[in-house]
Amino acid sequence: MALLEVKGLTKAYDQLKVVDTFDLKVHQGELRCLLGPNGAGKTTTLDLITGRQKATSGIISLNDTVITHWPEHLRVRHGLGRKFQVPAVFKGLTVQQNLTVAHNRTTSPIRNMFVLRDGAAQTRVRQVATQVGLARRLRDKAEELSHGETQWLEIGMVLIQNPQVLLMDEPTAGMTAQETYKTGEIFNSLKGSHTLLVVEHDMGFVRQIAERVTVMHMGRFLAEGTIAEIENDSEVRRVYLGKEGKASHA
Ligand SMILES: Nc1ncnc2c1ncn2[C@@H]1O[C@H](COP(=O)(O)OP(=O)(O)OP(=O)(O)O)[C@@H](O)[C@H]1O
Ligand SMILES: [Mg+2]
């Protein structure tokens, strides 16, 4: 049984289908990479899964429950977590406070900010900070973090809410090579215990983290397999990867 399943997913603007009868199954504990050229429909697919955009047709199910027509906030409550490209951290708060606020979103908003010293919550905050490599920055304000660290904080803020599936759109965008590598290590450590769907263009990063890879092209499913299978697929090479097996778009 797939944890996240998408069947016949379609998003049309007038006559133009930007996602076209797309199928995808992501299993529990899997880290799936979603690749494709610019405009392939990757971000739209994530938007349809999270409910940010409405599907024209098709079915989305999470843990055997059809959520296709659910509003965004109910999907979040049902276990969909998403990291957006633009950081949404509170700059004036510390790493610890940001994680605490995110943690308390899963409980009651009224408790928010009043439970900063709550023991169980703080244990969890430290645990997640360690997972995303920010254990030593807990007392630093978010505004003092580098771009990469800010992205990791955001990943932590999604993780701390214990989503069943975590969706990420180009998590390494704007990162240095070193930050990108460290992000790969963070993702690798999440494998097995977390279920992730990651959109990326950076092929070095994809090679570092990939298990199964799905490729989209013009809204449609193009290929699926291991990274080696994908890199040797002639259609994938033609539409997405250059001769040297590099993404031709970045
Ligand atoms: N509101 C809209 N109206 C019409 N077309 C749209 C709209 N929003 C997106 N599109 C089109 O949908 C297609 C898919 O866009 P999407 O952002 O999902 O692609 P992507 O695979 O995420 O690309 P990238 O790699 O550049 O991020 C694009 O051709 C885009 O121009
Ligand atoms: Mg996109």
Atom of ligand 1 lying closest to residue 216 CA: 21
Q: At which of 138, 162, 186 does a domain end? A: 162
Question: How confident is residue 228, by pLDDT bands cut at 50, 70 and 90?
Answer: very high
Residue 250, pLDDT score: 46
188/70 same-domain check:
yes
**183 and 68 share a domain?**
yes
Please tell me the pTM assigned to this model. Answer: 0.91
Shared domain check, 168 and 115? no
Return the exposure string of 7-28: e unless at least 16 CB atoms fall within 10 Å of the residue's CB, then b: eebbbeeeeebbbbebebbbee
1 confidence band (pLDDT: 50, 70, 90): confident
Nearest to 132 by CA among 164, 86, 107, 166: 166
Of the residues 162, 186, 207, the one at which a domain ends: 162
Given a contact cutoff of 8 angstroms between Cβ atoms, the answer to whether 239 and 37 are in contact is yes
Q: State the pLDDT at residue 44.
A: 97
Residues 188 and 157 both lie in one domain: no
Residue 192: is its pLDDT beyond 60? yes
Q: What 8-state DSSP symbol labels residue 175? A: -
- For residue 242, the model assigns a pLDDT of 73
CA distances from 173 to 28, 86, 201, 216 (A): 26, 10, 9, 19
CA 65 to chain centre: 20
If one residue of 11, 35, 44 were mutated to test the ligand 1 pocket, choosing by the most ligand atoms within 8 A of its CB, it would be 44
Predicted local confidence at residue 232, as pLDDT:
93
Can you give the residue range of the structural domain that contains 143?
87-162
Asked if residue 126 and residue 9 are part of one domain, the reply reads no
Structure tokens at 141: 């304000």
Over residues 167-188, mean pLDDT: 95
Best residue among 14, 42, 85 to mutate for probing ligand 1's pocket (most ligand atoms within 8 Å of CB) is 42
CA of 218 to the centre of ligand 1 (A): 10
Query: What share of the chain in percent tops pLDDT 90?
Result: 80
Residues 146, 215 within the same domain: no
Give Cα 58 to chain centroid, integer Å: 21
DSSP state of 43: H
Q: How far, in Å, CA of 81 to CA of 157, rounded?
A: 10
Instruction: Give the pLDDT of residue 243.
Output: 52
Asked whether residue 168 falls in the same domain as residue 75, the answer is yes
- Average pLDDT (95-117) is 72
H helical segments located in the chain:
42-50, 72-77, 95-105, 119-131, 147-159, 177-190, 203-209, 227-231, 234-239
The residues near 191 (Cβ < 8 Å, ≥ 6 apart) are 29, 30, 31, 211
Judgement on whether residues 250 and 169 belong to the same structural domain of the protein: yes
pLDDT bin (cut points 50, 70, 90) of residue 53 is very high
Has residue 28 got a pLDDT over 50? yes
* 102 and 65 co-located in one domain: no
Q: 109 and 74 in one domain?
A: no
pLDDT at 32 > cutoff 90:
yes
| 129 and 22 inside one domain | no
Q: Is the CB of 36 under 6 A from ligand 1?
A: yes
Give the residue from 162, 196, 212 where a domain finishes. 162
Q: Check pLDDT > 60 for residue 31.
A: yes
Q: 111 pLDDT exceeds 80?
A: no
Lowest mean pLDDT among 40-44, 102-106, 125-129, 201-205: 102-106
Q: Could you tell me if 102 and 96 are in contact, meaning their C-beta atoms sit under 8 angstroms apart?
A: no
Structural domain count, the chain? 2
Q: Which ligand is nearest to the CA of 41?
A: 1
Q: What is the mean pLDDT of the chain?
A: 90
Residues 6+ apart with CB under 8 A from 142: 89, 90, 91, 92, 93, 94, 95, 98, 150, 153
CA angle 114, 117, 121 (to 5 degrees): 95
CATH assignment of the domain containing 233: 3.40.50.300
Whether 69 and 172 share a structural domain: yes
Residue nearest to atom 12 of ligand 1 (CA): 18
**Ligand 1: distance of its center to the CA of 186 in Å?**
28
